[in-house]
Homo-oligomer: A and B are copies of this chain.
């Protein structure tokens, strides 16, 4: 009812959309809309309708209808943006433009390793496709679901694990529909006959792709992506250092190794809570049903496994000789300045052997090898571009019941906020971020799960997960308070998030330079004069 008052043209727009797309591609059913407006935290708006266009032409015509009736539309790739708002809409609500039906792989160059995908192409789909094509190139995947959109993550500037971890850096052109209904190709793709459209990123003249990443300035209907050449050899590594006090030299050592080219991919540094939760469920019994988790329980468990205060994992990619040289340099550099309590390098062959002998080895070592090896196999896969749903159950961390066989955090009331501030790749900055997170979480009664990712030679992305149980009355509000405080404290200290959840879109404006806000607002008006495309999404 309120929607009719705010958007008087809604009903007429819905009729036009139904005529354009067919009724089966327009969701108006209240229950289904409510379900897809749920996220892993409290969301204020119910999506008014879901439109599912089949191609770029339909997207353009959907926007034209939106303009005619002044109803805002929000593009969504597959709607699995967990921890950042799932498929719920930011701002004051509107209609979702769900692009999951646009799921074609439009072209593939087996020499250059380039591919053009639509927004509905999932990690699993592209991975399967590349396998079918002979497994010459790998996708860089995120740890999220196999059913997440590849394009969506790329233009949201997500990151993964391999040397191609920076997803937006490996985009070489977009097809975009802007708010005024214009369809454009960026890069050399703007020339119909260009040979290097997929091969070269910048094109000629202004480079426009960046405008359409983390923005509401356009609906991206296709993206050209670069894929990682499959290396001759691969070695996974995991290292653990004993003392918390050595976080600073550890981060500095990783910077040196990355700058020297011994490590060329993302490295994930985890705190004990993160390591524990990756292997164990919340120990409700031991904790007598209480929260937050006692750090001593975590410590005891990790001690038994020989795991120290900070652990990190990564992988080496290249020829056997390249890997041998890198391994030696990493070993030497880490042992030189750190109290390393565990350092394992593992090829696929060695993991397979361990798996074969896990029973006798388990008895011998008294370690839960089953569990450890299963988890390691998933990590191996992720670092080789194999999507996995092994991480999804971790969203059930604070739930009393174990995760179901078909996990769906939105449906099941799994509370989750991601907060991902970026710092310079320096030990002192890592320490400051960790201290802020620990202090805020402790005060609010949550256990901070930290995974700091070395995403480049110079930057560290601290991905902080706040898990809670949405079914406990009052927890939605308490967790939101904790999250907001965490974000504000981090920004006060100079650590800004690399991306935003739908609940935080307004938090940057006051801190942002006036010139930037003005410029973005002017661009927005120019490309979307009626203000119908994703208002409130990364606004000025």
Interface of A toward B, CB cutoff 8 Å: 109, 111-114, 157, 168-169, 178, 180, 182-186, 188, 190-196, 198-200, 202-215, 217, 226, 229, 231-232, 255, 259-262, 264, 317-319, 321-322, 325, 328-329, 422-426, 429, 456-459, 491-500, 508, 511-513, 515-516, 518-520, 522-523, 525-527, 538
Contacts and interface: CB of A to CB of B under 8 A. Distances in A.
Contact of A188 (B205, B217, B422, B526): B422
Nearest to A212: B206
Most buried by B among A168, A321, A516: A516
Nearest to A200: B459
Given A111-B426, A329-B319, A206 B199 contact: no
Contacts of A538: 204-206
Contact of A458 (B200, B426, B508): B200
Contact of A178 (B169, B204, B321, B519): B519
Contact of A498 (B195, B198, B200, B520): B200
Contacts of A515: 182-185, 190
B325 A191 contact: no
Given A229-B260, A261-B264, 8 more contacts: A180-B522, A194-B494, A194-B496, A204-B496, A205-B508, A206-B212, A207-B211, A260-B319
Contact of A519 (B203, B226, B527): B527
B495 A196 contact: yes
Given A259-B229, A319-B260, A520-B206, A195 B513 contact: no
Nearest to A181: B515
Most buried by B among A206, A210, A232: A206
A437 to B, nearest CB: 15
A408 to B, nearest CB: 29
A1 B26 CA distance: 65
A457 B111 CA distance: 11
7 contacts: A112-B424, A157-B202, A188-B422, A190-B515, A205-B520, A208-B211, A261-B317
Contact of A190 (B198, B498, B513, B525): B513
A115 to B, nearest CB: 12
A111 B430 CA distance: 15
Nearest to A136: B259
Contacts of A512: 190-191
A457 B191 CA distance: 22
Sorted from nearest, which 6 A-B pairs have the closest CB atoms? A207-B210, A184-B515, A526-B526, A195-B494, A206-B215, A190-B516
A319 to B, nearest CB: 7
A114 B212 CA distance: 27
A190 B520 CA distance: 12
A182 B232 contact: no
B185 A516 contact: yes
A212 B525 CA distance: 19
Contacts of A209: 207, 210
A204 B114 contact: no
Contacts of A210: 202, 206-211
A184 B328 CA distance: 46
Nearest to A504: B204
A205 B195 contact: no
A180 B518 CA distance: 10
A457 B180 CA distance: 36
Nearest to A324: B325
Given A207-B210, A211-B206, A325-B325, A519 B182 contact: yes
Given A264-B261, A516-B186, A518-B182, A206 B217 contact: yes
A499 B213 contact: no
A319 B491 CA distance: 38
Contacts of A214: 202, 204-207
A215 B211 contact: no
Chain B CB within 10 Å, residue with most, of A180, A183, A261, A515: A515
Given A513-B185, A515-B182, A519-B527, A423 B196 contact: yes
A455 to B, nearest CB: 8
Nearest to A538: B205
A458 B317 CA distance: 19
A132 to B, nearest CB: 21
Contact of A184 (B196, B261, B500, B519): B519
Given A184-B519, A494-B193, A200 B422 contact: yes
A204 B499 contact: yes
A191 B496 CA distance: 9
A386 to B, nearest CB: 20
A209 B210 CA distance: 8
Nearest to A511: B191
Contact of A213 (B192, B202, B226, B457): B202
A319 B114 CA distance: 31
A422 to B, nearest CB: 5
Contacts of A519: 178, 182, 184, 208, 527
Given A259-B229, A260-B318, A205 B196 contact: no
A362 to B, nearest CB: 37
